[in-house]
Structure 1
C-alpha cells in the first residue's frame, strides 16, 4: 500500500489492485424490445428505465429514437401503399365503317360563323401541312 499527500489530501492506493478492462455488453433483441416498451409507457422517464435495467440513459434514448423512426417509416410506407388496381372491362360500340369516320373533321369558328372542313383520312399529312399554313 502506498500513500501520497497532495494539497492537504492523503491518497491511499493498494498496489495489488488490478484494474480489469470492462467488456462491452451485448444485449439481445428481446431485452432491447422490453426496455424500449417500458420507455414508451406514458409518464415513464427514460432515465428511470435505464436505472432499472442498469443501462446508460443515452444508449437507451438512442434505442427508443431508432424504434420511433422505424415505426414512423412503417406508417408512412403503409399510408403510401395503394390497393392493387382492378381490371374493369369496358364494352365499346362496334366500329362504324361509314365515310364520316374515315374523314378528318375540322371545325373553325369566328364570331357567329362556323366552318366545317372534311379531309380524307388517307391524306392526313396534306391536311396537317394545310392546317399549319392556315394557323400562321
Structure 2
C-alpha cells in the first residue's frame, strides 16, 4: 500500500496519510492474544509509537461509544473450569534435578523438593 502522496516536491519528505480502513485493520490485528505491537508495526512498516497511539485512540473511542449508548457491551465469557482426573498411583515425590554436562561427562544430582532451600545453598556454594 503506497501511503505517500505522489505530488511530493523532490528532496522534501511529506507526512504520510493513512486511511481509516487501514488504521482499523492494523489496530484490529493488535487485539489478538500474545500479539506484540512492535511486531505488528514492523510488519506494516509503521513506527511502533504511532501504532500505540492508534490503539489508545481506538480504546478511547470505544469507551466513549459505550458510555453514550444505553446498550451494554457483553464482555467475553471466561473459560470454564474443566476438572481433570489424575491417577495418583506410582506418583514419585517431587524432586529437584540438576544435570551438569562438561565435554563428554555428565553428572545428575537429585534433591527432594521439600529441601529446596538447602539445594539452593549447595548450588550457590558449588558454583562460587
TM-score, structure 2 as length reference: 0.45
Structure ranking higher in strand proportion: 1
TM-score, structure 1 as length reference: 0.42
